Amino acid sequence: MSHPVTKLEIIEALESNAHSVAELFPGIPERLFFDGDPDHWSPAHHLAHLTQASESVGPALWSETLPLHPTRRSRTYAEVRDAAAASVAATHKDRLREMGRKVVIAPGLTRADIVNAFGSASANVRTAAAAWSEDELDRHALRHPLIGQLTVREMLLFFVVHERHHLKLVRARIEGR
């Protein structure tokens, strides 16, 4: 998979991730799709988590009042990926587990509900990102709960990394059955 750099490349990578979700998740057997809990995630938990992430960042991307980033310089995809991995490795497992417990699959939700919610949230992030100029992506900041202050570009790169990571975990779980 390529490492996106420009706004267009980042949006295309996010679209590719959304397409992968739309292809993969509907084909997962129903029992396996929901077979998990907040400590041992099912594919539904992974997708609900990605939806929550998009829903938390989407509104911020529409904001015209994001603070300036102190360096006004974005790291590369590889640097963001490595910073994310280092942050997870440095975070105590109990904190990571507690953060994971916030992912709850509401009773009565169907696979289609969960897949469609991700599709909508992901599309909102991509649409909001498209409104930013290349320069603005590097000037403004958003806070990630583990990595800390990121430029908007870095946050979008994180989303590419994050979604690819969870897709990989779900594929591994499916293949492991």
**What CA–CA distances, in Å, run from 48 to 38, 110, 134, 166?**
11, 12, 30, 11
Four-CA torsion 16, 17, 18, 24, nearest 10 degrees: 110
Residue 1 within a domain:
no
| pLDDT, tens digit, 9 for 90 and up, residues 106-129 | 999 999 999 999 999 999 999 999
Give the strand pairing for 141-144 and 148-151: antiparallel
Q: Could you tell me the residue range of the domain that residue 114 belongs to?
A: 7-175
Residue 40, pLDDT score? 87
| pLDDT, tens digit, 9 for 90 and up, residues 34-83 | 999 888 899 999 999 999 999 999 999 999 899 999 999 999 999 999 99
Band (177; pLDDT cuts 50, 70, 90): low
Please determine, for residue 100, whether its predicted confidence score (pLDDT) is greater than 80.
Answer: no
Rounded-to-5 percentages of helix, strand, coil across the chain:
65, 5, 25
Packing angle, helices 111-130 and 43-62, rounded to 10: 30
Q: What kind and span of H or E run contains 70?
A: none
Query: Token pair of 23, please?
Result: 């292809």
Query: Token pair of 169, please?
Result: 């975990």
Q: How many structural domains are present in the chain? A: 1
Residue 96, pLDDT score? 83
Residue 2 within a domain:
no
The CATH number of residue 11's host domain is 1.20.120.450
